[in-house]
Structure 1
Amino acid sequence: MPQRLVLALLAGVLLAMAYEPFAVPVLVPVLVPLAVAAHTLLTRGLGLRRAFAVGLAFGVGFYYVHIYWMTTVALAAWLGLSAVQALFYGLLGSAVALLTRLPAWPLWVGTAWVSMEVWRSGWPFSGMPWGRLGFAVVDTPVAATLPYVGMAGVTFLLALAGAALAAVLVSSGRTRLVALGTLAAVVAAVGAAVALPWSSPATGSVTVAVVQGDVPGPGNDILYDFRQVTENHVQATVDLADDVAAGRAPAPDFVVWPENSTATDPFRDAGTNAGILRATEAIGVPVLVGALVDGPPGAVLNQGIVWDPVTGAGERYTKRHPVAYGEFIPFRGTPLELAFGDLARIQRDMLVGTGKEPLSIAGTEVAGAICFDVAYEDAIYDQVGRGAELLTVQTSNATFIFSDQVDQQFAMTRLRALETGRATVVASTNGVTGVIGADGEVVATAGIQETEVLVEELALHEGLTPAVRMDRFPWQVAVGLTLLTLTASLLPYSRARRTRRLRRSAAGDGRPTHDGGATPPPRRGADAMAEQP
């Protein structure tokens, strides 16, 4: 058992090597299935508790490496969040121990990986999607399958390949042939997607300016001088207007500022409002402003606001996935509230947005996403499915600017562009700001911790990828199958445990002990005499 635990820990670290900052794209399609195969082999054949321990060791090895960047927030945040997420891999270990007792078990292991990722991406509180298998495939051939099967489908393909590899190693005869055939089918699916990449005809184009104003002071504290942050974005937009007037830059159809480009309510703060007005009047086109807007007492909204130079503030997108213990405190006002230390700085809870319609900006239908939203399908799929032709991601990564989080998030954003078939603009306060084509390829990026404006003409698309059309259906199927197969495997597992207990009891006199075994009673009388030589 100790050997299994050590190997599982190392397998988890191996999986972490498939993501930024370690990722080597040519190795990722091998590393991910290998890690899944190791998780499967190390938990297969164990009882539920021992399989949980092995799976937990895998999760510890993976998650403590994968989100080491959380130490920039606090050591306790890294330790606590990683521990919670590792538990899901322990539960997956118990599930795999059961599912590998069924026929065609590589299929059920694949669906179990999807189900586990869906579960931990939404619970507890707002969940934590970081580390989904699909997020590792940027710049690999596997990424070509994203528009066809979506993020859940890519996780399934990778997990299925890993489970099939495990089956090849432990089986023989016809079973091994089936497992080899499954591996070949996954490779063929990836090859088909590479040979026939998803594309849809452009229905027009739009020129977008993306502003990165930079963060003063140390660069990792958006509140260090939040008024200067706003002024940086105002001035960069005014300077862009001067460049357009002088013919040094093309005229944009609209401008995108990042999340927290105004960290105080622009409707209540006169100076902030005047700065936005100065910028929009100078450039003469709408600006998508990232703003914190006061809500009811004790609440705040994180919004992207379309600010027109003539009519002022208009349509808004409100962040759909605020971060627990970062943007709101769960159980506020109850005995379960945790608001001590750095958490005491969170005085107001961020409300959850519910909007599904895209924003209309200068005649273009635009899907909004704010920072953490990009790790989830729902908000993006909802808007793209309702006509969005372009995707914008407003983010404030200042807290993590000296960590690998910014690269991991940018990789996710590139995958979302490919998955939805939409060109994407990313506006960050000080990095990574960039423009991404509908094929997921990077068109332009701004320098880290610099004031810079990117102006690019981007194609607009209306065609829906199969992934968007299927919406939540793939993971709903995976969850349903996992529940069914776990139920099917639990019944014989329970019967087998009862049978083992009965056999142990039969070895004695049937008198059970406190630990479920049987202790033979002392022999007396005729029985004792009968045993004498």
Structure 2
Amino acid sequence: MEMTLRPPAAPQVSAAAAPGPLRLRLAVPLAVLGGLALLLALPPYDLWWLSPAGVALVAVATHRRRLRAGFGVGFVAGVVLFFPLLNWTSFAAGWLPWALLATAEATYLGLTGLATAWLSPLLDRRRFLWPVLLGLLWVAQEAARDRAPFGGFPWGRLAFSQGDAPALRFAAYGGAPLVTFAVAAAGGCLAALVWQRPSRGALGHLVALAALTVAPAALPLPAPAGPTKVVAIVQGNVPRLGLDFNAQRRAVLDNHVKATLGLAGEVEAGRQKQPDLVIWPENSSDIDPLQNQDAAQEIAAAAAAIGAPILVGAVLRTDNPADIKNAGILWNPGTGPDLAQTYVKQHPVPFAEYMPLRSIARLVSDKVDLVRNMLAGDHPGVIRTSALTLGDVICFEVAYDGIVRDTVTGGAQILAVQTNNATFNAAEARQQLAMVRLRAVEHGREALMASTVGVSGFVGTAGDVHEESGFNEASVMVRAMRLDGSRTLATRLGVRPEMAAVALTAAALAWAFVLRRNRRAGVHLGEAKAEER
């Protein structure tokens, strides 16, 4: 009887047919290019179409890598993005806080690279999942970065790069998380197209790419339907840029008073509209006007001259000399400050406006005691004036979804961001203005940004900017703003889309765990059968 010897069968593992990861010498340059693309998509460069390309480059560089390598490649992209993006933080605080903050932010991109590598088993034979999974993963990454540590720091979100893009309109339907999802999903379409040879699915990915990047231009946006009120922004400027602007407190206050008196003269001469409300920026009175009579008289004179209430950005002292508050106070002509219409900043910046773990940090450096303790407010910035209801947020708070939304659900008819950019630069100011643009679309409310030095301006509900000022100059802008409007779907949904994305991301990571375990079990079974033969 003739017997035929057969070679042992190879283990039947799905990963065998999938291509391996890119060589590290190619993956690292791709990560660098990805980080650079993400950087250039953001202000002040505003090359918004590079955001999907950046996501795709990082995804391809980390796909099918070992987890540690995936983290490292993602971290490289994060370093390239965040160190130059946050360079302005070094102007006031020096290089060490800048390096620590940028490194912490880059770590989140490292974790994104690790997660992308972990999800590889889902993507090897399911290229149609690239857009969905990358969209979910980036939303989940930003959700974590927006909250931790110490309340998070949401700078550099994909959504903030889309000020001039059609995808900005998604903000009205699902807020910043939906915009981020669309941008990252577009990157997933690109990644799916380049990872393997063209296939029948290529057309579908091209259609999805167009739907995510071009088609949103056709999405309708709600427009405010209420009456108009005239609002003035006063950008008084400071004598010198830099951290020592705090030593120039009286000069800064005088600049804003002088500019308001000048506006009053223009109104009296009929060359400018009579404002219903005047907005001064954050720190326009770093002298506490509730305790300093001279400062109070200056502001009262300005309010009386212009004949309208002024929202004053003031630093308030407390009974404890170490504690301060960053506030917006409504100052009415004739009657003075309305303490019932005062907003105290809810989200002071850690390590800049207050020092977390001060006793531990003091063991490292005695410089920590130079940071004052800014107390957080306990309610949204809903300011009710005789003419309109204003939603006020202060400086970096515009980056946080919930803080802005709470003013709208509280009745805000327009949005205002009081900010002080004197310790930073024009790039930071434009990054902040991009966030104001997104918020105006997200909530269907006209908005404005009032800065000590610029950039200040008005923003329409389609994200369009009007009366934009320059940087490091005195300027006064006046515009009739339309009030009210129906609440957008994004306002009504609130945090739900983001939390749904986080839950689906967790489910995808768990699914990848099951596939990995089955894959290992298949390999072991194949090896055992081969030994039996």
Does the TM-score normalized on the shorter chain lie above 0.5? yes
Q: Is 1:64 paired with 2:83? A: yes
Q: Is 1:330 paired with 2:350? A: no
- Name the % identity: 38
CA distance 1:364–1:11, change in 2 (3 Å): same
Out of 451, 454, 467, the residue aligned to residue 444 of structure 1 is 467
Residue 233 of structure 1 is matched in structure 2 by: 256
Out of 121, 131, 137, the residue aligned to residue 112 of structure 1 is 137
Letter in 1 for 2:330: V
CA distance 1:344–1:500, change in 2 (3 Å): farther
Letter in 1 for 2:142: E
State the Cα distance separating 1:146 from its structure 2 match: 2.1
Superposed counterparts of 1:408-447, under 5 Å: 408-447=431-470
CA distance 1:242–1:55, change in 2 (3 Å): same
Residue 383 of structure 1 is matched in structure 2 by: 407
1:55-110 deviation digits (Å, cap 9, x = unpaired):
11111111122222223231222221111111111111111112231253431221
- In the alignment, the residues of structure 2 paired with residue 179 and residue 351 of structure 1 have an alpha-carbon distance, to the nearest angstrom, of 54
Superposed counterparts of 1:282-301, under 5 Å: 282-295=305-318, 297=320, 298-301=322-325
Letter in 1 for 2:489: P
Aligned residues: 499
CA contact (8 A) 2:139 2:502 kept: yes
What secondary structure sits across from 2:438 in the alignment? Answer: helix
1:298-351 deviation digits (Å, cap 9, x = unpaired):
32211111111233222012212211111110012x3245773654421x2112
CA contact (8 A) 2:440 2:460 kept: yes
State the Cα distance separating 1:448 from its structure 2 match: 2.4
Q: Could you state the TM-score of these two structures normalised by the residue count of structure 1?
A: 0.88
State the Cα distance separating 1:387 from its structure 2 match: 2.1
CA contact (8 A) 1:45 1:97 kept: yes
1:114-154 deviation digits (Å, cap 9, x = unpaired):
01011111111121111101111111222232212321101
CA distance 1:472–1:182, change in 2 (3 Å): farther
CA contact (8 A) 2:130 2:191 kept: no
Residue 62 of structure 2 is matched in structure 1 by: 43
Residue 477 of structure 1 is matched in structure 2 by: 500
State the Cα distance separating 1:446 from its structure 2 match: 2.5
CA distance 1:149–1:183, change in 2 (3 Å): farther
CA distance 1:352–1:2, change in 2 (3 Å): farther
- In the alignment, the residues of structure 2 paired with residue 85 and residue 497 of structure 1 have an alpha-carbon distance, to the nearest angstrom, of 34
What secondary structure sits across from 1:225 in the alignment? Answer: helix
Residue 245 of structure 1 is matched in structure 2 by: 268
CA distance 1:19–1:469, change in 2 (3 Å): same
Superposed counterparts of 1:113-192, under 5 Å: 113-171=138-196, 176-178=199-201, 180-192=203-215
Residue 345 of structure 1 is matched in structure 2 by: 370
What secondary structure sits across from 1:359 in the alignment? Answer: strand
- In the alignment, the residues of structure 1 paired with residue 382 and residue 222 of structure 2 have an alpha-carbon distance, to the nearest angstrom, of 21
Q: Is 1:399 paired with 2:429? A: no
What secondary structure sits across from 2:483 in the alignment? Answer: strand
Long gaps (5+) in structure 2: 1-23
CA distance 1:498–1:292, change in 2 (3 Å): farther
- In the alignment, the residues of structure 1 paired with residue 134 and residue 215 of structure 2 have an alpha-carbon distance, to the nearest angstrom, of 24
Q: Which runs of 4+ in 1 moved over 6 A?
A: 498-508
Residue 321 of structure 1 is matched in structure 2 by: 347
Q: Could you state the TM-score of these two structures normalised by the residue count of structure 2?
A: 0.88
CA distance 1:46–1:192, change in 2 (3 Å): closer
Structure with the bigger RCO (C-alpha within 8 Å, sep 6+) is 2
CA distance 1:435–1:220, change in 2 (3 Å): farther
Superposed counterparts of 1:451-490, under 5 Å: 451-490=474-513
- In the alignment, the residues of structure 1 paired with residue 106 and residue 75 of structure 2 have an alpha-carbon distance, to the nearest angstrom, of 6
Residue 193 of structure 1 is matched in structure 2 by: 216
CA distance 1:182–1:389, change in 2 (3 Å): farther
- In the alignment, the residues of structure 2 paired with residue 217 and residue 499 of structure 1 have an alpha-carbon distance, to the nearest angstrom, of 68
- In the alignment, the residues of structure 1 paired with residue 261 and residue 159 of structure 2 have an alpha-carbon distance, to the nearest angstrom, of 40
State the Cα distance separating 1:294 from its structure 2 match: 2.0
Residue 518 of structure 1 is matched in structure 2 by: none
CA distance 1:492–1:338, change in 2 (3 Å): farther
- In the alignment, the residues of structure 1 paired with residue 181 and residue 110 of structure 2 have an alpha-carbon distance, to the nearest angstrom, of 19
CA distance 1:214–1:159, change in 2 (3 Å): same
Residue 87 of structure 1 is matched in structure 2 by: 107
State the Cα distance separating 1:159 from its structure 2 match: 0.7
CA distance 1:480–1:234, change in 2 (3 Å): same
CA distance 1:342–1:222, change in 2 (3 Å): farther
Superposed counterparts of 1:204-223, under 5 Å: 204-218=227-241, 221-223=244-246
Out of 52, 77, 83, the residue aligned to residue 97 of structure 2 is 77
Residue 382 of structure 2 is matched in structure 1 by: 358
State the Cα distance separating 1:481 from its structure 2 match: 0.8
- In the alignment, the residues of structure 1 paired with residue 310 and residue 271 of structure 2 have an alpha-carbon distance, to the nearest angstrom, of 20
What secondary structure sits across from 2:437 in the alignment? Answer: helix
Residue 369 of structure 1 is matched in structure 2 by: 393
State the Cα distance separating 1:269 from its structure 2 match: 1.4
State the Cα distance separating 1:14 from its structure 2 match: 2.0
Out of 110, 113, 116, the residue aligned to residue 96 of structure 1 is 116
State the Cα distance separating 1:391 from its structure 2 match: 0.7
- In the alignment, the residues of structure 2 paired with residue 48 and residue 5 of structure 1 have an alpha-carbon distance, to the nearest angstrom, of 15
What secondary structure sits across from 2:155 in the alignment? Answer: coil
CA distance 1:370–1:19, change in 2 (3 Å): same
CA contact (8 A) 1:168 1:180 kept: no
1:149-187 deviation digits (Å, cap 9, x = unpaired):
3211011011111112212223468xx544642442352
What secondary structure sits across from 1:131 in the alignment? Answer: coil
CA contact (8 A) 2:454 2:472 kept: yes
- In the alignment, the residues of structure 2 paired with residue 418 and residue 198 of structure 1 have an alpha-carbon distance, to the nearest angstrom, of 8
CA distance 1:337–1:113, change in 2 (3 Å): farther
State the Cα distance separating 1:462 from its structure 2 match: 2.5
